[in-house]
Amino acid sequence: MSIAWDDIRTVLMLVRHRSLAGAADALGVNYTTVARRIRRAEEALGHPLFERLPDGYRPTAAAHLIAQHADQMEDTEHSMMRQLQGIETTLSGVLTLTAPQLLIANFLAPVIEQFTNMHPNIELRILATNTLLDLTRLEADLAIRISRTPGDTLKGLRLLRQENASFASQEIADRIASDPTAMIDWIVYDAYPDLPKGIDAGFPNNRVRYRFDDMVAMLGAAQAGLGVVRMPMFLGRAATGLALVPVLSPQPYADIWVVGHPDVWPSQKLRAFRSILVKYCKTHKQDFVA
């Protein structure tokens, strides 16, 4: 009566995903393999672990017990992998980075290029995403985040302070300049559906015209001349066809941080990347404020 560690992990995944296919995906194997490993585990333990119902596998109490412990084992594994990364000294292998897509497209691209040129043996993997990835699980080694604080248990470095302002197409900008009292149409972010605070008293007529849940889309809408958007300074400047409009005076916005798990932080690869990143940010500070 004993069980292979790989099979423990398979039970965990099946409990977690509730279908052979889901578990198989998570494990990177075919779902038939999952079915067979489960059967093997059940035989090894002399204990049924799942009920085979017409709509899927349903874990028994024993399976839940296993999953609970396997969860702990997985935590330990992740901690191990992070620490292995942390003691890594060679400048080769993969380095995974995550950052907001707009920051990559409009600011970080040169950093990435410079890094890959300087360290051709490091394969840089970029995850452009808006959701926060879990650095504890090593979904990424480093994350560049826009937030007021670095993560809870993460180690972080403040790269830049930045400011917000209002931007619109050149045409709209001209119109506002010529008649500040005309109605100004705003494009706002879904999560903050009201008019931005701090609109200058010289522009009395404002209304929310569009609400988007995606900043890329808002940028496009502004470029197409649909209205005024509040956005970070660097973005308004970098995006073609947009002009600063003085409706909203520049105001501080969430800082830009680079964060990582303390375990992997000391790795040479990460040091190398941070050094280039920090240098680049220092020389481009002025792009982020008025």
* 79 lies in the site for a second copy, by CB under 8 A: yes
The number of residues that bind DNA (CB under 7 A) is: 20
Residue 26 interacts with DNA (CB under 7 A): yes or no: no
Task: Compare residues 18 and 237 and give the one whose CB is closer to DNA.
Answer: 18
CB of 117 to a second copy, least distance (A): 22
20 binds DNA (CB under 7 A): yes
Both tokens of 41, joined, read 């585990």
Tell which one of 6, 43, 200, 214 touches a second copy (CB under 8 A). Answer: 6
Q: Is residue 30 near a second copy by the rule CB under 8 A?
A: no
Please tell me whether residue 211 binds DNA under the rule CB under 7 A.
Answer: no
The secondary structure of the chain, three-state, reads CCCCHHHHHHHHHHHHHCCHHHHHHHHCCCHHHHHHHHHHHHHHHCCCCEEEECCEEEECHHHHHHHHHHHHHHHHHHHHHHHHHHHCCCCCEEEEEEECHHHHHHHHHHHHHHHHHHCCCEEEEEEECCCCCCHHHCCCCEEEEEECCCCCCCEEEEEEEEEEEEEEEHHHHHHHHHCCCCCEEEEEECCCCCCCCCECCCCCCEEEEEEECCHHHHHHHHHCCCCEEEEEHHHHHHCCCEEEECCECCEEEEEEEEEECCCCCCCHHHHHHHHHHHHHHHHCHHHHCC
| 44 touching a second copy, by CB under 8 A | no
Q: Is 183 in the site for a second copy (CB under 8 A)?
A: no
Out of 45, 47, 56, 60, name the contact with DNA by CB under 7 A.
56
- 10 Å CB burial of residue 232 (0-12, 13-18, 19+) is buried
The window from 48-56, 71-79, 118-126, 164-172 that contacts DNA (CB under 7 A) reads 48-56
29 binds, among a second copy, DNA, none (CB under 5 to 8 A by kind): DNA
As measured in angstroms, the least distance from the Cβ of 238 to DNA is: 40
Q: Which stretch binds DNA (CB under 7 A): 27-35, 77-85, 157-165, 282-290?
A: 27-35
Nearest CA among 271, 243, 258 for reference residue 100: 258
* Token representation of residue 18: 């509730």
Closer of 12 and 135 to DNA (Cβ): 12
User: Can residue 52 be called a binding residue for DNA (CB under 7 A)?
Assistant: yes
Q: Report in angstroms how near the CB of residue 40 gets to DNA at its nearest.
A: 6
- Stretch 104-133: interaction string toward a second copy, x if CB under 8 A: ------------------------------
Instruction: List residues near a second copy by CB under 8 A.
Output: 1-6, 8-9, 45-47, 61-62, 65-66, 69-70, 72-73, 76-77, 79-81, 83-84, 87-88, 92-94
